[in-house]
Copies of this chain bind each other. A is one copy, B any other.
Amino acid sequence: MQLGRHISGQFNTELEAIRTHVLTMGGMVEQQLTYALEALHNHDAELAKRVMHEDHKVNAMEVAIDEACTRIIAKRQPTASDLRLVMAIIKTITDLERIGDVASQIAKVSLENFTNKQHSLLVSLESLGRQSVKMMHTVLDAYARMDVKAATEAYKFDDKIDAEYEAVVRQLMTYMMEDPSSIPSVMKVMWAARAIERVGDRCQNICEYIIYFVKGKDVRHIGDQNIDDVIK
Residues on A close to B: CB < 8 A? 56, 59-60, 62-63, 66-67, 70, 73-74, 77-80, 83-84, 87, 90-91, 94, 169, 173, 176-178, 180-181, 183-184, 187, 190, 194, 218, 220-221
Contacts and interface: CB of A to CB of B under 8 A. Distances in A.
A184 B180 contact: no
Contact of A177 (B180, B194, B218): B180
A178 to B, nearest CB: 8
A63 B212 CA distance: 12
Main secondary structure of the interface of A (DSSP, over half): helix
A221 B60 contact: yes
Contact of A94 (B79, B94, B180, B187): B94
A73 B73 contact: yes
B218 A66 contact: yes
Given A74-B79, A79-B74, A80-B74, A63 B177 contact: no
